[in-house]
Amino acid sequence: MITTQDSRDDFDVPVLDQLHVNLDNAKSIARKFLGQYFARIIFRGAFLKGNTWIVIMDVGRRDEYMVHVRIDACTGMTLEYL
């Protein structure tokens, strides 16, 4: 028998009652983090994958240079950027 928690894990569906970071918070966290390294930061998009926000920012000066920032949707901690 599959429990509700097992089915959430199998399909990588976020547990909405545990999410503390919404889209606007995720954008702010990513912008603040990237501001340490880049002068120009333009929001391009974001999506929620499981309990992780993936925020896409353009940090290129002349050409587009997209960076993906992974943010834990429960804690708001920056996990990594690529």
Q: What is the pLDDT of residues 30-75, one digit of tens each?
A: 999 999 999 999 999 999 999 999 999 999 988 899 999 999 999 9
Nearest-angstrom CA–CA distance, 44 and 76:
19
Nearest-angstrom CA–CA distance, 24 and 51:
15
Which of 1.10.3470, 3.40.50, 3.10.450, 2.60.40 is the CATH number of 4-81? Answer: 3.10.450
Higher pLDDT, 5 or 82: 82
Q: Where are the domains of the chain?
A: 4-81
Q: Is the pTM of this model over 0.75?
A: yes
